[in-house]
Chains A and B, each alone.
Chain A
């Protein structure tokens, strides 16, 4: 087996979650395209509640194909990809350490940065594959039902889900390398996802939130703009740059991490205390060795 074995192994570990989430995403894509023709007339008169308008992004109306796909798919499906990213990203180091298998890998002649890069690469592939599954659903749906958005624009919107998913993947990897437990890392990333998603969703309700909204990565991953205007390289590039920075921090943190064997052993306390016995000898020394 070559070094690629580690990439394959990581992909194999993430296989269940990738197939599961990919299948769900493909199913939702198929369903959305199939139901749109039946609902589009009804949706003309549907007034989306003010608090939910963030789901539409810049599309304006849910009756348009762009508005419908944004509200029903692209506004929230990235959360599923991000879930995959958090599950597999936090398992990479803190999870493997808790399982005792990080020991197995790092006792081999593998440089830590290389382990981080190979794991990051494998999990990026997993997220891309899960996102790509939606293309199957959209293509199947478009072959049976009419929706006035080109496959190219849909493909661009699918690709647009990746930078934000990879950003949270790399953040998960970093925290997995930096924090002692997988639970802590997963909780922090999940909390950040919830807060930034909420800020983006309600951001345009109050002018006071407008600036804060721009801090949310979901603002920069706005899918409706891509569906209407095509892929925005600047926005995607910005998110990918942040993802890369988190990836670099993951490498940096893993290089510095003290690897414990299953459970952290710095709780070890003094060994058994035995009372002195009379007449026992002093400690010994011999050439080449010394008693500390």
Chain B
């Protein structure tokens, strides 16, 4: 079966600036895939290339086996899109916007489903778009992306501007979409949301894909902080071990940053009497930092 999204050597240059550098990626149907990276890393560029809003300098992309450039209108027929900063016609109401876009979709739009979406998101479709807050515009964008239950969802920072309660609602919606077989591809620099919903994560930095990992493995190989209290001061070179950095030393306690497994650190520490040992679960921010650091070598 064709993957939901496939890119091969996808590259985009803006003049002398390479926004995306040879992206090779495969996302399966029914998968929720997080695309992580800081602003300017190439996340939005990737999504816009998939939708044929911009054209690649090199490489190719397919969605459900359809070429994103040559068959772009067929690609868009099976794809729902939420831009990073959704903008609408200010002279239309939410409902009129939904009707306008529904008229452009290939598949029929179920009014009951639209009403249930608006209901779940607590969105009043009768209000003019011009008076909607950033959060409500985001909700309208989500309704439009899910409008005809597309097979692939391309979402650029989907929970941006939403309160934590509403973020949960959106995550639930995305999980439900994935359960019925839709591929959900979303970009984010909000780590907590990726942790919440994604099965796999791609990490992008300066246009280059640094890693693609299941979220669980990503956490396992990341930096973690270790604070060890000893019964007596330990020698200065006690933790001179590859992939371990001594952050702080105070009398009989040492704070270490460890990249990867803890085995060697624990063995080194065990040579001295330990009173206490504490480890901090790394946040995804720290995980990303690890990947950015290693990529810039």
Contacts and interface: CB of A to CB of B under 8 A. Distances in A.
A279 interface: yes
A105 B213 contact: no
A109 B104 contact: yes
A289 B76 contact: no
A275 B295 CA distance: 10
B103 interface: yes
A100 B85 contact: yes
Given A1-B100, A110-B104, A9 B293 contact: no
Report, nearest first, the 8 A-B pairs whose CB atoms are least far apart: A100-B87, A266-B14, A279-B243, A1-B103, A109-B77, A5-B103, A289-B212, A108-B104
Given A6-B104, A9-B89, A110-B104, A291 B293 contact: no
Interface of B: 9, 14-15, 17, 19, 21-26, 37-41, 44-45, 48, 51, 53-55, 73-74, 76-77, 79, 81, 83-89, 91, 99-106, 144, 202, 205-206, 208-213, 221, 223, 242-245, 257-260, 289-297
B259 A280 contact: yes
Interface in A1-28: 1-3, 5-6, 9, 12-13
Contact of A271 (B37, B79, B293): B37
Contacts of B45: 265
Interface string A245-280: 000000000000011111001111111111111111
A292 B102 CA distance: 38
Contacts of A208: none
B100 to A, nearest CB: 5
B260 A292 contact: no
Given A12-B91, A111-B73, A281-B221, 16 more contacts: A1-B99, A1-B100, A5-B100, A6-B104, A109-B73, A110-B76, A261-B53, A266-B17, A272-B292, A277-B259, A279-B259, A281-B290, A286-B213, A289-B26, A291-B208, A291-B212
A284 B100 contact: no
B27 to A, nearest CB: 9
Contacts of B223: 277, 280
A245 B9 CA distance: 38
A206 interface: no
Contacts of B105: 108-109
B275 to A, nearest CB: 26
A282 B243 CA distance: 11
A72 interface: no
Nearest to B210: A283
B28 to A, nearest CB: 8
Contacts of B51: 106-107
B221 to A, nearest CB: 6
A117 to B, nearest CB: 14
Contacts of A261: 44, 48, 53, 83-85
17 contacts: A1-B102, A5-B103, A5-B104, A108-B76, A110-B104, A261-B53, A268-B19, A271-B41, A271-B206, A272-B292, A276-B293, A277-B259, A278-B243, A279-B242, A279-B259, A286-B213, A291-B211
